[in-house]
C-alpha cells in the first residue's frame, strides 16, 4: 500500500461547526466525542454508586427529593441504582472510553492511516451509541422508574413486565432497547476497527511491528464482533417475550403474588443466562484488554526499555481473547445448568490465569533493568498492574465451582470484578489520558494535580474493594438494599461504613482529574510533538494532528514499536518511521 492510495480516502477538511464537531467523520473528533460521552456516563455512574453506599450505611438518610423521589430511598429505588450503575459503567464507560474513544483517536494514527476504513460508519456508530445513552437515561424518568433486575436482567424478573416489580414496565423496555441499539453501534465499530487494522497499515508496518495498543484494540474489536451480535439477538428475544407474547425465556405456570401468568409456555430462564454470558464474559476482556495494551505501551516508554517479551504479549492477549469465549459458564455454576459442564468451564477459566500471569511477568520484566520515570501516566500504568494482579487472583477462587458454592453472589464477587474490570480498566483510561492528552489537545496536563489524583485514587480504590472480599468471606450477599433481616450481617456494619467513607474520598479526588482535564485543555502549557520521547507513529506528526493525520506525508515503518535504549544510538529512543540512515549514532 502506498501513500498515494491513502490520499484517495481523505475528504477535504470540513468547514462549518456542525460538520466539523457534531456530525464529523474525522476519527479524532469521533474519538473525543466517545470520550466525552464516557466522561458524562462515569460521572452519573459514580453519583449512583455514592447514593447506594450512603443508603447502605445510613438507611434512613434524607435525600433532596429532586435526587430521590420521596426523600428516603426505597428498596426498589436502590435496585434501580444497582441496575443503572452497572449498565452505565459496563457499556457507556468501560466499553466506550478505552476502545471506541482512545482506539478511534489513535489506531489510525498509530498505523499511519488518514482515517478509519469507513468514516461514515464510524460517525454512525458514535451517534447510535449516543442514542442508546439517551434511551438508557430516559428509563429513570418513566413511570415506575429504572429497571430493578440488575445489569444482567435475568428473566423471568425482567421478562414479565410490571407485575414483578416497579421499573419492570416501561423502564425495562427502554433498557433492552438501549442495549440493542448499543450492540448495533458496537458491531459497526468492531467491523471498522478490524478493517482498518488489516487494510490501512503503513508500508513496513507488519502485524508484529504494531504497537501493543493497536494489537489490543484489534483483538478487542474481534471480541466485540463475536459477542455483541449474541447480546443483540438475546435482547430482541427478551423484548419479544415481553411485548409479543413469545416464550423464549418464560416457562408455563408462573404465579406472581397469587396471580397466574397466562400465555407463556416452554421457555427457559437459563437460555437467557447462556446468551447473556456468552456476551458478558468476553465483555470483561473488551473492557480490560485496551488497558493491557496501554499499560504495556506506557511501561515501556517510561522505563525507556523495549516491552519484555513482545511476542509473548501478543500471544497472551490473543489466547485471553480466544479462551474468553469458552468460559461463560463460570457465571452459572449455581444456576441449575449441568454440573458436569461446570468442570470444563472451571478448568478453562483457570487456564486463563496462565496468559494473565504471562502478561504480569512481562510487565515486571519490562520494568526490570529500566530507567523509570514516574509521570502521572506511568503511575497509573503501574497501578494498573497492581490492580490487575489483585483482581485476577481473586478470580481463581471464583473459578472453582466448589468454592463458588459459597462465594457466588456475595461481595467477594463484587470486590473481584470491580478491581479487575472496573478499576483496573479505569486506571488504563487514566493512564491513556495523561499520556495522550498532549497529542489530542496540544497542551500538557498538570503533573502535580495528576499525581495527587493518582495517590488518592490508588489508595482509595484498594480501601473500597479489598474489604469487599472480607465481606464475601463472611458471606454477605450482594444486591441487598438493607442488611437488617439477616442477623449475621450486623457485625459487618463497620466494614460497610469504612467502604462508604473511602468511596466518598475517592470520588471527591476525581474532581482533580476533571479540573485538570478541562483547565489544561484551555490553559495548559503548549505541548511539543513528542513530549515523552516516544517511538510510535502518533508522536511523529504535529500536535494536535492535522485533519488527514500526517499532512499528506504518510510515514513508512522500519522497525518494531519499542526501540528504547538501543546500544550505539545517539538517543535512548528510535522512532518507528526513521530509516536506518536517519538514526543518529552515539558519539
Partner 1 sequence: MEKRNQCAGSAAPAAILAILLLILVGSTLFIFMDKVWWFPTAITAVGHGIDHQFFLTLVITGIVFVGSQVGLAWVIWRYRDRGQRASSSHGNNTMEIIWTLATFVMFVGLGVMAKNAWAEVHFRDAVPGAIPIEVTGQQFAWNFRYPGPDGKFGRTDPADVSASSGNPVGLDLSDPAATDDVVVPVLVVPVNHEVQLTLRSQDVIHSFYVRELRLKQDLVPGMQIPIHFLATQIGEYELACAELCGLGHYRMHSCMQVVSEADYQAWLAGGGQAIQRGGMNIGECQ
Q: Which of residues 232-291 bind partner 1 (CB under 8 A)?
A: 251-258, 260, 267-270
Q: What is the CA radius of gyration of the chain?
A: 24
Nearest to 535 by CA among 570, 567, 571, 561: 561
Q: Which is nearer to partner 1, 190 or 352 (CB)?
A: 352
For residue 249, give the 3-state DSSP assignment: coil
The region of 107-115, 182-190, 230-238, 405-413 touching partner 1 under the rule CB under 8 A is: 405-413
The region of 290-298, 394-402, 414-422, 428-436 touching partner 1 under the rule CB under 8 A is: 394-402
Peptide bond connecting 156 to the previous residue in cis, omega within 30 degrees of 0? yes
Question: Least CB distance from residue 112 to partner 1, whole Å?
Answer: 23
36, 405, 508, 514: which one binds partner 1 (CB under 8 A): 405
> What letter would DSSP give residue 546?
P
Q: Which of residues 332-361 bind partner 1 (CB under 8 A)?
A: 334-336, 339-340, 342-343, 346-347, 349-351, 353-354, 357-358, 360-361
Cα 46 from Cα 263, distance rounded (Å): 40
Cα 279 from Cα 26, distance rounded (Å): 30
Does residue 318 belong to the site contacting partner 1 (CB under 8 A)? no
Does residue 572 belong to the site contacting partner 1 (CB under 8 A)? yes
21, 58, 141, 374: which one binds partner 1 (CB under 8 A): 374
- Residue 191 contacts residue 121 (beta carbons within 8 Å): yes
Question: Least CB distance from residue 99 to partner 1, whole Å?
Answer: 26
Q: Which of residues 189-228 bind partner 1 (CB under 8 A)?
A: none
Cα 292 from Cα 384, distance rounded (Å): 8
45, 98, 309, 415: which one binds partner 1 (CB under 8 A): 309
The region of 99-107, 160-168, 174-182, 213-221 touching partner 1 under the rule CB under 8 A is: 160-168
- Residue 330 contacts residue 345 (beta carbons within 8 Å): yes
Does residue 367 belong to the site contacting partner 1 (CB under 8 A)? yes
Cα 542 from Cα 530, distance rounded (Å): 9
309-314, Cβ contacts within 8 angstroms, sequence gap of 24 or more: 309/358, 309/362, 309/365, 310/208, 310/212, 310/560, 310/561, 310/562, 311/208, 312/358, 312/362, 313/212, 313/215, 313/358, 313/359, 313/362, 314/208, 314/212, 314/215
172, 296, 390, 536: which one binds partner 1 (CB under 8 A): 390
Nearest to 296 by CA among 561, 566, 575: 561
Cα 171 from Cα 175, distance rounded (Å): 6
Does residue 533 belong to the site contacting partner 1 (CB under 8 A)? yes
The region of 38-46, 62-70, 201-209, 451-459 touching partner 1 under the rule CB under 8 A is: 451-459
Q: Which is nearer to partner 1, 138 or 566 (CB)?
A: 566
Q: Which of residues 64-103 bind partner 1 (CB under 8 A)?
A: 74-76, 79, 82
Question: Least CB distance from residue 29 to partner 1, whole Å?
Answer: 26
Question: Least CB distance from residue 413 to partner 1, whole Å?
Answer: 11
101, 156, 235, 415: which one binds partner 1 (CB under 8 A): 156
Question: Least CB distance from residue 228 to partner 1, whole Å?
Answer: 24
25, 148, 424, 557: which one binds partner 1 (CB under 8 A): 148
306, 428, 460, 561: which one binds partner 1 (CB under 8 A): 306
Cα 262 from Cα 400, distance rounded (Å): 39
Q: Which three cell numbers stand for residue 307?
A: 516491552
Residues binding partner 1: number (CB under 8 A): 126
Question: Least CB distance from residue 143 to partner 1, whole Å?
Answer: 16
Amino acid at each position: 500500500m502506498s501513500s498515494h492510495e491513502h490520499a484517495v480516502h481523505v475528504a477535504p477538511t470540513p468547514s462549518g461547526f456542525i460538520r466539523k464537531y457534531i456530525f464529523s467523520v474525522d476519527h479524532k473528533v469521533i474519538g473525543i466525542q466517545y470520550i466525552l460521552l464516557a466522561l458524562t456516563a462515569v460521572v452519573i455512574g459514580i453519583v449512583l454508586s455514592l447514593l447506594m453506599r450512603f443508603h447502605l450505611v445510613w438507611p434512613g438518610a434524607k435525600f433532596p427529593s429532586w435526587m430521590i423521589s420521596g426523600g428516603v430511598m426505597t428498596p426498589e429505588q436502590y435496585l434501580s441504582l444497582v441496575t443503572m450503575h452497572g449498565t452505565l459503567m459496563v457499556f457507556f464507560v468501560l466499553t466506550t472510553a478505552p476502545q471506541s474513544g482512545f482506539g478511534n483517536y489513535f489506531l489510525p494514527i498509530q498505523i499511519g492511516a488518514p482515517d478509519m476504513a469507513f468514516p461514515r460508519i464510524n460517525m454512525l456508530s458514535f451517534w447510535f451509541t449516543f442514542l442508546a445513552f439517551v434511551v438508557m437515561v430516559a428509563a429513570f424518568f418513566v413511570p415506575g422508574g429504572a429497571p430493578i433486575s440488575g445489569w444482567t436482567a435475568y428473566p423471568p424478573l425482567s421478562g414479565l413486565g410490571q407485575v414483578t416489580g416497579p421499573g419492570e414496565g416501561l423502564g425495562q423496555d427502554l433498557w433492552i432497547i438501549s442495549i440493542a441499539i448499543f450492540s448495533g453501534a458496537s458491531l459497526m465499530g468492531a467491523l471498522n476497527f478490524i478493517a482498518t487494522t488489516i487494510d490501512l497499515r503503513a508500508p513496513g508496518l507488519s502485524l508484529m511491528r504494531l504497537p501493543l495498543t493497536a494489537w489490543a484494540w484489534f483483538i478487542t474489536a474481534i471480541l466485540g464482533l463475536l459477542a455483541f451480535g449474541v447480546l443483540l439477538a438475546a435482547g430482541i428475544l427478551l423484548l419479544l417475550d415481553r411485548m409479543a407474547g413469545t416464550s423464549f425465556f418464560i416457562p408455563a405456570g408462573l404465579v406472581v403474588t397469587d396471580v397466574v401468568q397466562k400465555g407463556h409456555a416452554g421457555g427457559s430462564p437459563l437460555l437467557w443466562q447462556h446468551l447473556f454470558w456468552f456476551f458478558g464474559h468476553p465483555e470483561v476482556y473488551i473492557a480490560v484488554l485496551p488497558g493491557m495494551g496501554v499499560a504495556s505501551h506506557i511501561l515501556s516508554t517510561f522505563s525507556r526499555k523495549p516491552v519484555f517479551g513482545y511476542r509473548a504479549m501478543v500471544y497472551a492477549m490473543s489466547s485471553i481473547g480466544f479462551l474468553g469465549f469458552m468460559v461463560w459458564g463460570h457465571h452459572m455454576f449455581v444456576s441449575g445448568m449441568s454440573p458436569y459442564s461446570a468442570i470444563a468451564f472451571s478448568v478453562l477459566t483457570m487456564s486463563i490465569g496462565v496468559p494473565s500471569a504471562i502478561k504480569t511477568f512481562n510487565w515486571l520484566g519490562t520494568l526490570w533493568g529500566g530507567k523509570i520515570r514516574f509521570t502521572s501516566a506511568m503511575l497509573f500504568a503501574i497501578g494498573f498492574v497492581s490492580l490487575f494482579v489483585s483482581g485476577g487472583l481473586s478470580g481463581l477462587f471464583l473459578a472453582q465451582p466448589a468454592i463458588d458454592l459459597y462465594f457466588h453472589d456475595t461481595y467477594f464477587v463484587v470486590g473481584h470484578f470491580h478491581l479487575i474490570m472496573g478499576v483496573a480498566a479505569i486506571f488504563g483510561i487514566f493512564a491513556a489520558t495523561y499520556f495522550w492528552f498532549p497529542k489530542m489537545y496540544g497542551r500538557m496536563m498538570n503533573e502535580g494535580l495528576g499525581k495527587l489524583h493518582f495517590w488518592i485514587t490508588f489508595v482509595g480504590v484498594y480501601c473500597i474493594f479489598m474489604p469487599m472480599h472480607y465481606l464475601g468471606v463472611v458471606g454477605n450477599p450482594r444486591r441487598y438494599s438493607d442488611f437488617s433481616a439477616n442477623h449475621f450481617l450486623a457485625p459487618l456494619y463497620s466494614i460497610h461504613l469504612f467502604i462508604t467513607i473511602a468511596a466518598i474520598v475517592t470520588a471527591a479526588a476525581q474532581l482533580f482529574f476533571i479540573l485538570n482535564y478541562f483547565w489544561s485543555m484551555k490553559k495548559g502549557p503548549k505541548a511539543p510533538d513528542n513530549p515523552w520521547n516516544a517511538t510510535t507513529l502518533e508522536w511523529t506528526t504535529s500536535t494536535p494532528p492535522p485533519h488527514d493525520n500526517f499532512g499528506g506525508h504518510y510515514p513508512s515503518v522500519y522497525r518494531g514499536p519499542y526501540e528504547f535504549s538501543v546500544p550505539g544510538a545517539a538517543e535512548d529512543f528510535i522512532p518507528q518511521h526513521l530509516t536506518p540512515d536517519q538514526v543518529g549514532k552515539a558519539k
